Structure 1
Amino acid sequence: MRVPLSWLQDYVPLQNIDPLDLAHRLTMAGLETTFEQGGSQYWNKVIVGQIVSIEKHPNADRLQLATVDTGDQRVTVVCGAPNIEVGQKIAYAQLGARLLNAKTGETVELTAAKIRGVESAGMICSELELGLSSNHHGILVLPEESSVGSPINEILDSSDAFEIEITANRGDCLSVLGVAHEVAAIIGAQVTEPNLEYEEVSPSVEECINVIVEDPQLCQRYACTLTKGIKVEDSPEWLQKKLRDSGHRPINNVVDITNFVMLEYGQPLHAFDYDQILESTLIVRTANSGETFTSLDGALHELKPPMLMITDPQRSIGIAGVMGGLNSEMTKSTKNVLLESATFNGINTRRTASTLKLRTEASLRFEKGLNPELAERALKRATALIHSIAGGEVRKGIYDVFPGKKDPLQIQFSLNSLQKILGTSYPSSQVEQVLNSLGFVYTKMDDLNLKIQPPYWRTDIEIEEDIVEEIARAIGYDSIPDIPLAGLVPQPLNQPIRILREKVKDLLVSLGLQETISHSLVSGQNLESINTPMESVIRTENPMSREQEFLRASLIPELLRATSEALKHPPNSVAFFETGRSFKKQKNDLPTEDEMAVGVLAGIRSHSFWEDTQETYDFFDAKGIIEAIFANLGVQVDYIPSKNSAVKIGHSAELFIDGTQVGMIGEINPLSINKFNLPTSAVVIFELNLSQITQFLPEQKSFFVPFSRYPAAIRDLALVVKSEISAEQIETVIRKEAFVTRVSLFDLYEGGSLSPGEKSLAFRVEVQSSEGTLTTEQLDAIFSKILQMLAQETGAVTRT
């Protein structure tokens, strides 16, 4: 919304107010505002001149030589404007003046120049060169009473203006008066309202026109006045300037008045040629399917319900809230004007304008929502201006169809609410001054309580808190003192799953994995790739596409697809992980939403430039990651051989804590590798159910164990066991010995000299005492005890 400073001053005093400071204060009050300096910045060295003679240019048919009296000398100026005449007072730019260039829009310094062989000493300016408007088809002609030689800024008003970004809830600021009330509240002034009085004559308007509103839901109010015997002509200069300064093109006095009042009050109006309304009847109805209509801009539109139309008994003459029709527009021959001021449904108006691609200043205001009380005031203002400028006689009264009229809203307001909501209070006199400036009407119930009626132009004030906000905005949010919080600081929310998820993510990153993120909506093909039972799948009600039809049951498929794409490029090594939720339907219950962490290792284990190796990832790489995570969490996990069809038997395991499965780990089998087009067979995945793990986290997160002052001893144990005995079982038995501090598996051997059904496992065992250095005899006793326990519990024997 462009609000000219000169227009704003008609309603609120702005003397000694810095426009830049006011723009800042409006922004801080919630209206993002910038100040744009108008033409006055281009008026240095521009004075009033008078054309005393005009001669033909000797070398150009379209140029003329004008002799200009500047008060102290006469100069010759080459000019091509078609409207120059002897005796005119004009804006003369002296050499050195900085003017707008009509072609580039940039400012340039005026210098002496020869035009077709004749030197031009300056320029006779158009409105564009002076920054007044975009008009450069002729020179600017000044009033006859202008004094020759006077600076131009003594004759012309600057077109300085505020540019205001309007938010969706502040449609009232799409009006100069709405902004004036904001300014008045900020600077502590009162707004001067326009005069709405005019003379009326009989008969009444109700005897001259009939209005039928068929759908009160789409047209809450329809009011109109009738003025007969008007004269359609150009608007007076003051009205044209107001419109130009606001960025609007003057058309004729009647149309200009409707645009002026729309900008002034924010209420769109429309003027019909009364004599073109058949049977003197207006009908407000929805459009018929396939109905066509030619709007004022000459465009033909195909209509459909529930687009709202203004019609007479035989034809449509306007699209309600958007644009009038070519068949009832104002022309020079119009003598009688019917002026419409209505309140149309904002949502329907927006849909109509968008469908017809016909967004207008009127539709913009209707779609933000207008108070029906605004219609009558704007109508009276426009009628008064038509009577004053275009003449004619105003028929008595207003034809007003207002079926849904309600009593004005009354809001109970307590001064104590300021302290309660803002944490500060203001004197009642200051609060009352703000309310008056903003247009609120109030009644004092007692010293603390008011009954407040919101202004008729505001639709966003409904509750007591809205009034508190208005007071805070007007006085300034920066006036609210900073007060430290009193009382106890609120305890943080206990979110163990979130804390665990973030910790696991940090651990995985520290272990060299990179995080990926995928969408939680997946395709049916995604679910089929991991043989997900469809009865446990959750389908979205309105899928955006086939690729986003279901909630994911697992994070593994999308992670493997990302792996497949990554392995197509060097360095042929992938270490990815992702965290997120998986969803599964439950019978007669809400779906489960488990927080999961999944990872994949694929391709070459190391890709360092100085380490030339082709070793690939295997089960034990992923197991090392899992062990590191659970060691950090302080949780003991058991590994049970997996029977999952997606992983290799013997190279996979399911993870259990106290009998509850919390995850799985394993090498992908060839069938799954083909499903996901993985270019390598070395692919290992792991999956952790963080929602399940959370319940097993120890309350004591960490504790200190003193370091031993004595050296550790290391021995290797090569054991032969049955194939079904797992390495974890062996490790569990070894750790039962109190002196054991570390156990690691470093070799697995099958075949050769071993009998069928047997395998060899080699462990490196570290033992240490905190009381002294272990002797050879002590070490022999410790390992002899370990071997006895292994033999008894697992049947293990030493490999020879």
Structure 2
Amino acid sequence: MRVPFSWLLEYIDPGLSPQELGERMTMAGIEVEAVEAFGSPLPGVLVGQVKKIKPHPGRDNLVLVDADTGDGPHEIVCGAKNMTVGDRVAVARPGAVLPGGLKIKERPIYGVTSAGMLCSAKELGLELGSDQEILILDKNTPVGAKVDDVLGFDDQILYLDLTPNRADCLGMLGVAFEVAALTAGEVKMPSMNLPETEIPVNEAVKVDIKDRNLCHRYTARVIRGIQIGPSPLWIQMRLMKAGVRPINNVVDITNYVMWETGQPLHAFDLQLLKERKILVRRAGMGEKLVTLDGVERELTNEDLVIANRNEPVGLAGVMGGKDTEITAATSDVLIEAAIFNPTSIRRTARRLSLPSEASQRFERGVNPEAVMWAQNRAALLLNELAGGKVLKGVVDKNYSTVEPHRLTVSARRIRRILGIDIDTAEILALLKSLGFFVSPSEDDLLEVTVPLRRADVKIEEDIVEEVARLYGYDRIPLTLPRGELIENREEEDEKFKDAIKEIMISAGFYECIAHSFINPSGLRHLRLPENDPRMSYIPVRNPFSEEQSAMRTTLVPGLLKAVQHNCSFSEVNQLLFEVGSIYMADSLPLEEHPAEKPTLGMVVSGIIPEPNWVVPSIKADFFVIKGVLETILRRYGIEGVKFIPQALPFTHPARSALVKVDDVVLGFIGQLHPEVAEAWEIDQPVTVSEIDLNLLFEMAKPVPCFTSLPRYPAAKRDIAVIVDRNIASEDLAQTIRETGKDFVSRVVLFDLFEGKQIPAGKRSLAYSITFRRDEGTLTDEEVNLVFEDIKNALLSRGAVLRGEGS
């Protein structure tokens, strides 16, 4: 937001220099990024009055102008012919230096000596009018005055970097109210004595709001008999200093009032508005509109338009349409001032990549009280500066009743939060300076009514902030926080998650960070039944698109989307993981905050490592994830993990398992079902896993203490058994451990075989068993006795020793 200091002075005199005001505002939370002069000095450029105009004796396209700059007329050769006798113009006398370094000299032009140059706006560094026309100054401009003083080139511009909540400062009056609070000043409002004709506006135009959720209020005024032309120079200069390009008097006045009040306006050529009727409705799917920039836009039913009977004539709150724009032929104008839904405007402006000053203000929210004031202000200026006749009354379709927000605030609590001893009377004075209505009540309580322009003040803490910034952050003493330091569980959780990430990265996985919002169709692609808790997803209110319309209940869709994306670029070998939260609701609609569960998700496909001549590649499958998960469990001293075969809705029926420790299910590992892979457009085997990190964190043991190396030698025995395929290898390993008790220190599955020598439905599992005792060396006899017990235990579970028949 650019704030010309001279313009601000029309409403309030802060009694400070622009630099001092910028510092004061910054300290009060309204950051002023910079304070800069508008233009450079124009030495030797003076205001001149045209006394005589005559043809050039040698050239038909030139004229000789006698211009008086206060010291008598000077004959100047000029190519422009838009000036008349009596006009005030900018005269660059010999010795003057123009922007760009052009030095003016007295010199002959086709036989006539020119004593200077009459300047166009462009030659003075201004984007006004045509560079083929001389800049005409106001008729009351003093002859001989310096042009840079007349145009305010020394004016200072304050560049405000506003936070989104301070939409009230997107208008000069809003800034003036803020300055008044900081300097104990009073805002001078422009006078509003608006003359109207006897013709009622309802006879000239009709308005109908079809979607009241997207348009809460729409007002229209009609001004007839307007003479289109350039705006007065003072309006053009103010707009230029604010960063707005002047166009014509009607458009300039709507921009001027928007910059003054923060309320966007739009002007329609009433003669081009069919049937003189305004409809505020949603666009039809595929409906077209050519906007003022000449671009044809294709609209959707998410867009709000201003329309006549048949077609749209404007994109509500964003940009007007080409068909009803103000041109030189316009005489009757309809002025629109409205309140549109901020979310709708933001969605449309972003989808069409069409940001505008109007959309910026509607997105942040406009002041309901400013609508009618801005409407009348624009009508008054069109009457005074464009010769328009204002029809009686305003068409006002208002379907929202907005009441000022009221709060009960404790002065005692304000003092406690700020840590200062501020008197209640001073608190009242500070709040009243902001335009808040405050009345004290019992027990040091304050009843505060917030003006509608301050929609950002909603809770008691907002009032505390207002008191603090007006009191002065620099006046609040610095103090260290007091209190007992306690263990931060949240910090420990974050450290745990970071450690998990380090393990995953060290295992060769790449971290994936997906959106927490998902498309619900991704859950349906997983073939989850409707009664599955993961289908009870929380819908997002006013989502940007269907792709982000639900809070995720599983990390799997995001990981699969990443796999599909990578595969489309021929990246088929993938090890991806994500540590993120999923959101589970106890019931819908939500009655309390959903459970936010930190989760580890993994997905693998292809082969690892990439083919090379040093290390052979293996399939990235179930066992890769199983190995990484076992590494994590060992790192945190978690024992007794079991992988229980279990088909899930989205996994291969014979290649998935639940991960259990004791009787607690930590998560699952499983190869993606072919039909699910096809739904995700993935044409290769993919294995996914999801682990509950909350449960893992609760089971994690402290870092283990040092254990000395074994003092006595170990003995090893191998055993191979044939079992049914549905018997888990871990179950047999656990049987070996339980039977061997204190004598078995390690059990490793080193071979799995299925082939012609093995009966159908069976498989061979071979284990290496390490025997060791802490108190002394085991004898062969002791080892053999334990080994025999292990054989019998396996046989009792239906196993057949390899080589002893089947």
For the aligned residue pairs, the C-alpha RMSD in angstroms reads 7.2
SS in 2 for 1:181: helix
- 2:692 aligned residue (677, 690, 693): 690
Between the aligned partners of 1:333 and 1:532, the Cα distance in structure 2 is 62
TM-aligned CA deviation for residue 629 of structure 1: 2.8
1:786 lines up with 2:786 in the alignment: yes
Decide whether aligned partners of structure 1 residues 676 and 760 sit closer, same or farther in structure 2, where only a CA change above 3 A counts: same
Decide whether aligned partners of structure 1 residues 230 and 607 sit closer, same or farther in structure 2, where only a CA change above 3 A counts: closer
Matches within 5 A, 1:394-543: 415-424=411-420, 426-427=422-423, 431=427, 434-435=430-431, 437-440=433-436, 454=450, 465-489=461-485, 492-493=488-489, 503-516=499-512, 536=532, 538=535
TM-aligned CA deviation for residue 717 of structure 1: 1.7
1:761 lines up with 2:746 in the alignment: no
Aligned to 2:640: 637
Decide whether aligned partners of structure 1 residues 587 and 70 sit closer, same or farther in structure 2, where only a CA change above 3 A counts: closer
**Residues 308-362 of structure 1, C-alpha deviations (whole Å, 9 max, x = no match):** 9999xxxxx99999999999x999999xx9x99998554499879989x999988
Aligned to 2:175: 179
Contact 2:642 2:730 in 1 (8 A): no
Between the aligned partners of 1:7 and 1:615, the Cα distance in structure 2 is 74
Aligned to 1:157: 152
TM-aligned CA deviation for residue 183 of structure 1: 1.8
Aligned to 1:190: 186
Decide whether aligned partners of structure 1 residues 122 and 548 sit closer, same or farther in structure 2, where only a CA change above 3 A counts: same
Between the aligned partners of 2:381 and 2:686, the Cα distance in structure 1 is 83
Contact 1:667 1:685 in 2 (8 A): yes
Residue type matched to 2:708 in 1? F
Aligned to 1:138: 133
Between the aligned partners of 1:364 and 1:6, the Cα distance in structure 2 is 24
1:62 lines up with 2:70 in the alignment: no
Aligned to 1:707: 708
**Residues 234-291 of structure 1, C-alpha deviations (whole Å, 9 max, x = no match):** 9876566556655474866x998887666545568999999xxxxxxx999989999x
TM-aligned CA deviation for residue 642 of structure 1: 4.0
SS in 1 for 2:483: coil
**Residues 430-487 of structure 1, C-alpha deviations (whole Å, 9 max, x = no match):** 5455445434455666996666555576565566555444333444445444433222
Matches within 5 A, 1:487-636: 487-489=483-485, 492-493=488-489, 503-516=499-512, 536=532, 538=535, 555=556, 562=563, 574-577=574-577, 595=599, 597-600=601-604, 602-603=606-607, 607-609=611-613, 611=614, 613=616, 624-636=627-639
1:658 lines up with 2:662 in the alignment: yes
Contact 1:723 1:759 in 2 (8 A): yes
Contact 2:218 2:337 in 1 (8 A): yes
Between the aligned partners of 2:623 and 2:343, the Cα distance in structure 1 is 67
Q: What percentage of aligned pairs have identical amino acids?
A: 27
Between the aligned partners of 2:456 and 2:46, the Cα distance in structure 1 is 48
Aligned length: 757
TM-aligned CA deviation for residue 41 of structure 1: 1.2
Contact 1:23 1:33 in 2 (8 A): yes
TM-score (norm 1): 0.66
Decide whether aligned partners of structure 1 residues 685 and 480 sit closer, same or farther in structure 2, where only a CA change above 3 A counts: same
Decide whether aligned partners of structure 1 residues 211 and 712 sit closer, same or farther in structure 2, where only a CA change above 3 A counts: same
Decide whether aligned partners of structure 1 residues 523 and 741 sit closer, same or farther in structure 2, where only a CA change above 3 A counts: same
TM-aligned CA deviation for residue 17 of structure 1: 0.9
Aligned to 1:104: none
Bigger mean CA offset, 723-732 vs 560-569: 560-569
Residue type matched to 2:119 in 1? C
Contact 1:95 1:121 in 2 (8 A): no
Residue type matched to 1:538 in 2? M
Between the aligned partners of 1:383 and 1:670, the Cα distance in structure 2 is 68
Decide whether aligned partners of structure 1 residues 157 and 717 sit closer, same or farther in structure 2, where only a CA change above 3 A counts: same
SS in 1 for 2:40: helix
Contact 2:239 2:245 in 1 (8 A): yes
Aligned to 2:736: 733
Between the aligned partners of 2:42 and 2:120, the Cα distance in structure 1 is 12
Residue type matched to 1:7 in 2? W
1:126 lines up with 2:120 in the alignment: yes
Larger-gyration structure (1/2): 1
Decide whether aligned partners of structure 1 residues 667 and 478 sit closer, same or farther in structure 2, where only a CA change above 3 A counts: same
SS in 2 for 1:13: coil
Residue type matched to 1:701 in 2? P
Contact 1:171 1:369 in 2 (8 A): yes
Contact 2:8 2:176 in 1 (8 A): yes
Between the aligned partners of 1:239 and 1:669, the Cα distance in structure 2 is 69
SS in 2 for 1:713: coil
**Residues 707-730 of structure 1, C-alpha deviations (whole Å, 9 max, x = no match):** 14x655344423354445847635
Contact 1:750 1:760 in 2 (8 A): no
Contact 2:555 2:601 in 1 (8 A): no
TM-aligned CA deviation for residue 601 of structure 1: 6.2
Residue type matched to 1:11 in 2? Y
Residue type matched to 1:487 in 2? G
Residue type matched to 1:633 in 2? Y
TM-aligned CA deviation for residue 181 of structure 1: 1.8
Contact 1:577 1:598 in 2 (8 A): yes
TM-score (norm 2): 0.66
1:91 lines up with 2:94 in the alignment: no
TM-aligned CA deviation for residue 92 of structure 1: 1.1
Contact 1:656 1:663 in 2 (8 A): yes
Aligned to 2:79: 80
Residue type matched to 1:783 in 2? V
SS in 2 for 1:717: strand
Decide whether aligned partners of structure 1 residues 750 and 547 sit closer, same or farther in structure 2, where only a CA change above 3 A counts: same
Contact 1:12 1:192 in 2 (8 A): yes
Residue type matched to 2:628 in 1? I
Structure 2: which 5+ runs fail to align? 271-275, 285-289, 296-300
Contact 2:511 2:577 in 1 (8 A): yes
SS in 2 for 1:186: helix
1:10 lines up with 2:22 in the alignment: no
Decide whether aligned partners of structure 1 residues 122 and 477 sit closer, same or farther in structure 2, where only a CA change above 3 A counts: farther
Aligned to 1:41: 40
Decide whether aligned partners of structure 1 residues 783 and 93 sit closer, same or farther in structure 2, where only a CA change above 3 A counts: farther
Between the aligned partners of 1:244 and 1:586, the Cα distance in structure 2 is 57
Between the aligned partners of 1:272 and 1:792, the Cα distance in structure 2 is 95
Residue type matched to 1:765 in 2? T
Aligned to 2:298: none
SS in 2 for 1:600: strand
Decide whether aligned partners of structure 1 residues 189 and 766 sit closer, same or farther in structure 2, where only a CA change above 3 A counts: farther
Decide whether aligned partners of structure 1 residues 186 and 93 sit closer, same or farther in structure 2, where only a CA change above 3 A counts: farther
Residue type matched to 2:18 in 1? D
Aligned to 1:717: 717
- 2:748 aligned residue (730, 744, 750): 744
Matches within 5 A, 1:356-371: none
Between the aligned partners of 1:556 and 1:257, the Cα distance in structure 2 is 53
Between the aligned partners of 1:236 and 1:662, the Cα distance in structure 2 is 75
Aligned to 1:277: none
Matches within 5 A, 1:230-379: 242=238, 245=241, 247=244, 249=246, 264-265=260-261, 344-347=338-341
Between the aligned partners of 2:581 and 2:658, the Cα distance in structure 1 is 20
Contact 2:753 2:763 in 1 (8 A): no
Decide whether aligned partners of structure 1 residues 452 and 784 sit closer, same or farther in structure 2, where only a CA change above 3 A counts: closer
TM-aligned CA deviation for residue 704 of structure 1: 1.5
